[in-house]
Every structure is written in structure tokens, then in C-alpha cells.
Amino acid sequence: MTLAVRYTSARTLDIAPIETSAPGPGEVELAPAYVGICGTDLHIFHGDMDARVSTPAVLGHEMSGRVVRVGPDVEGWRPGDAVTVMPLRWDDSCPACRSGHQHICRNLDFIGIDSPGAMQQRWTVPAATLVRLPGSLPLDRAALVEPTAVAVHDVGRAGVRDGEKMVVVGGGPVGVLIALVGRATGADVRVVELSAHRRLLAEQLGLIAWDPADVDVPDLVRDWTGDAGADVAFEVSGAAGGVDTAVEVLGVRGRLCLVAIHPKPREINLHRFFWRELTLVGARLYDRSDFEQAVSLVADGTIPAERLISKVVSLAEAPSAFEALEAAGDVMKILVECGDEQRGDQA
């Protein structure tokens, strides 16, 4: 038996024992060390994904931990190895998979949403999902590899190049990570964010952040770019106003990368797309190369993961952490500690 954080119904989580078994062929049993709570987890908590999530559901897909046991036919892994998980299983037969885009498989199993996630003391996953972590990388920081991989994929999908002007609309965890990855790519970056706390953190990380309630963002972009407009914008806010801002700041042949999940259709200024020959790009999840690059960026400090961690709570405190994240204004990333790394529970 192992303890797990389970979603049972809208706004209801419990901590309950669940059955465990030895890993089967091709599987590995992990001891999760830290699991991040992300926006998708909050959507599940609110009951917005009940049509997709089977209850009781063990949550969590942003994680780090160590191998405990390996199943038959598993090679290259041994107990004690530090790992994270790329939480995707695909069918390898649908049109998306056959075209090489397995991460958007039509029948994708997103582990932690469609199947049990990492917010438990022991977790069995396919060995193929493991991504190795350097031994020098603290496991709390390594829990931010998954959202960093999202940012790496987004910046890659948008085709950000050295010297380009880049605007990120929404300065939450993923927005800040996109800004940091874009900066590392060589872009000149501006972040648009309503929360004073998040703007301050962005500024402490060396980014320039604007308050859209206090300034005219399109005017500032025109001044900044010599009236040319931004080369690329990322919509990470999930708000209708964020969409408007992201479109408005773009210059001729600018690219808009849609990152946020919008729960309902949004109006968009298509005339602007016609008039300036804009491009809209969707970005969803990541592939293994994105994950491996994210590991490097977190490990070498390009992504200062420790600065983005607002709080670490125990497994028993996870339900209250979800409630704390709803306020969101003064919180970036909360991690759930599933074991005691100092005592060696993860080995």
C-alpha cells in the first residue's frame, strides 16, 4: 500500500492508501520526491475536467524522484537513479503518431490526468517515460523540468530567433519560463502581467514586466520597437483581454503562439491577421528533445528553478495547497513532497 493524493469530486481531495504491485515487463517503480501543482491540476480540482478524469484520480505530472524497482526486460535503470517522467503514452498508430507527432496522439494518455499520476509515495510507470537527471541537480529544482519542457516546446514552435522582440502575455509559472527560455535563445523579452507579485519576481529574474492595468501595452511596444511591433507574442494568460493584447502588439508577419488553454471560443481580430500577415501557432506539450533540453537548462541554472518555488508542503498538506493556489496572486509554484530525501526514502 502507498499513500496518494486523490481527486474524488469537485473541490474535494483526499489522502488515501492505494494498492501497489511489483513493476511488470517494461515498467519501473519510482519513489516520487517532489510533485508540482500546475494549472491543469487546478482545473481538475475545480471539476472542470470531470468528463475526462475517472475518479478517484491520483493527480500530478510535474515530478522528480528515484527508481525503486525495475521490472523484467528493463535495461539501463537501477534503484537509486534520479529521474523525471515525460508523462505521455501514445498509441503509435493514429495519423499524428504516424507523422512523427506522438505528443499529440489522438488517443494520448496524459499520465496524471488520464491515468494515475505522481502524487503518491510509490508510482509505477513505463520505463520508456523516464528521463535521467544529473546527480548534482537537487530534486526539488528538478520538479520544474516538466513545465520548463513546455516552455522549450513553445519557444521552438514559435521559431524564436536571436535578436527578436518577444512579448509574453501572462507572467505565471509557464509564462515566466517561456520568457527565460526566450531570453536564453537571444530574444529581447517583455512580460505582461497583472499580478504585482509576479511582476516583481520577473523583474528580480532580470526580465522587464509591464502592468496592463497601468500602461498601454501596445503603445509601449511601439516605442520599444521603433513602431515596428513585436516579432512574436505568447498568449499564456487564458483571458480574452490577453488574446487581444497578444494580437495587437505584433508587427508585420509577427507570430502569435497560443499556449494557454481557453475553455471557450474567443473572439479574435482576424482583420489584423489579414492586414499584417500574422501567423497563429498552437503549442501543446513537448517531445523528448524538449525534455532533455529542459533538464540541461534547469541543471545549469539558466532556469533558476529555486526562485520559482514558492512553497513546499507535505503529502498530507496537499489539499490545502490546492486552495492556496486558487488565490494565485502571491504564489508561483507549490511542490508536494512525497517522501523524505534526507532519510533516503527515495532509494
Residue 344 in this model has a pLDDT that exceeds 50 = no
pLDDT higher for 207 or 346? 207
DSSP single-letter state for residue 128: G
| Catalytic center residues | 40, 43
Classify residue 265 by its DSSP letter: -
74: Cβ contacts below 8 Å, ≥ 6 apart: 23, 25, 26, 27, 28, 127
pLDDT for position 345: 38
Name residue 22's amino acid: A
Q: Dump pLDDT digits (tens) for 170-189.
A: 999 999 999 999 999 999 99
Q: Which residues pair with 67 in a beta bridge?
A: 30
C-alpha cell at 263: 475553455
pLDDT per position as a tens digit, 145-172: 999 999 999 999 999 999 999 999 999 9
Separate counts of helices (H) and strands (E) for the chain? 12, 18
0.75 surpassed by pTM: yes
Residue 145's alpha-carbon distances to 24, 85, 305, in angstroms, are 27, 9, 9
Instruction: Say if CB 152 and CB 294 are below 8 A apart.
Output: yes
